């Protein structure tokens, strides 16, 4: 198994580069979409991503149980592309429908901790195929206003660090250009 993490800002080109790596792999590609169409704008984004993917790729839509999907779909002849970890993280943060305070401590739902641990455990145990993750880097700007926004930035940074520590290759993407931070060139 090989594990690659592409991360960068919004519209940095990270998904395009991850998809090109998947296409060039010569393997069967399973695309794991974590997005939830909670409003019209997000539905448009999802439709755009769908239209950009090759028709022969298999798509699995999963908002929460990412580790289970990886265990089910990873195989030596496959490359599993997960886009994206930060949307998945957001889904987990709001998985129990709670409202978060603007000020004070943010207590994340139990499912958040369970699914995050399950993902990292699956990576630690090794998966029988190649996995490519796409994630946003949200911690390069100003510190956001509001407790839930700060919690999201903190958790996204922690998740990116944890996946990067387990990955064979880590690629930061800015303006469509890859900067390999760990592992082989793309």
Q: Which of 48, 49, 56, 113 is catalytic?
A: 49
Q: Give 62-95 pLDDT, tens digit per residue.
A: 999 999 999 999 999 999 999 999 999 999 999 9
pLDDT higher than 90, residue 46: no
Q: How many domains does the structure of the chain reveal?
A: 1
Domain of residue 121: give its range.
3-182
Q: Which two tokens stand for residue 7?
A: 């991360």
Q: Which two tokens stand for residue 20?
A: 């090109």
CATH number at residue 167: 3.40.50.300
- Tell me the C-alpha to C-alpha distance, in Å, between residue 140 and each of 134, 152, 154: 17, 13, 11
Told to judge if 49 belongs to the known catalytic residues of this protein, a careful annotator would answer: yes
Q: Give 88-109 pLDDT, tens digit per residue.
A: 999 999 999 888 888 888 999 9
């Amino acid at each position: 198994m090989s594990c690659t993490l592409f991360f960068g800002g919004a519209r940095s080109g990270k998904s395009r580069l991850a998809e090109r790596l998947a296409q060039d792999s010569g393997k069967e590609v399973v695309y794991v979409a974590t997005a939830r169409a909670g409003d019209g704008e997000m539905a448009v984004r999802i439709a755009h991503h769908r239209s950009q993917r090759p028709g022969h790729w298999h798509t699995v839509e999963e908002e929460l149980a990412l580790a289970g999907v990886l265990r089910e779909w990873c195989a030596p002849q496959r490359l599993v592309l997960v886009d994206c970890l930060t949307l998945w993280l957001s889904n987990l943060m709001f998985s129990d429908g709670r409202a978060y305070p603007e000020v004070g401590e943010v207590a994340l739902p139990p499912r958040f901790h369970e699914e995050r641990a399950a993902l990292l455990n699956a990576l630690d145990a090794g998966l029988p195929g190649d996995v490519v993750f796409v994630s946003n880097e949200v911690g390069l700007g100003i510190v956001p206003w509001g407790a839930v926004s700060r919690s999201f930035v903190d958790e996204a940074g922690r998740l990116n660090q944890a996946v990067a520590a387990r990955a064979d290759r880590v690629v930061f993407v800015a303006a469509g250009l890859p900067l390999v931070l760990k592992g082989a060139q793309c």
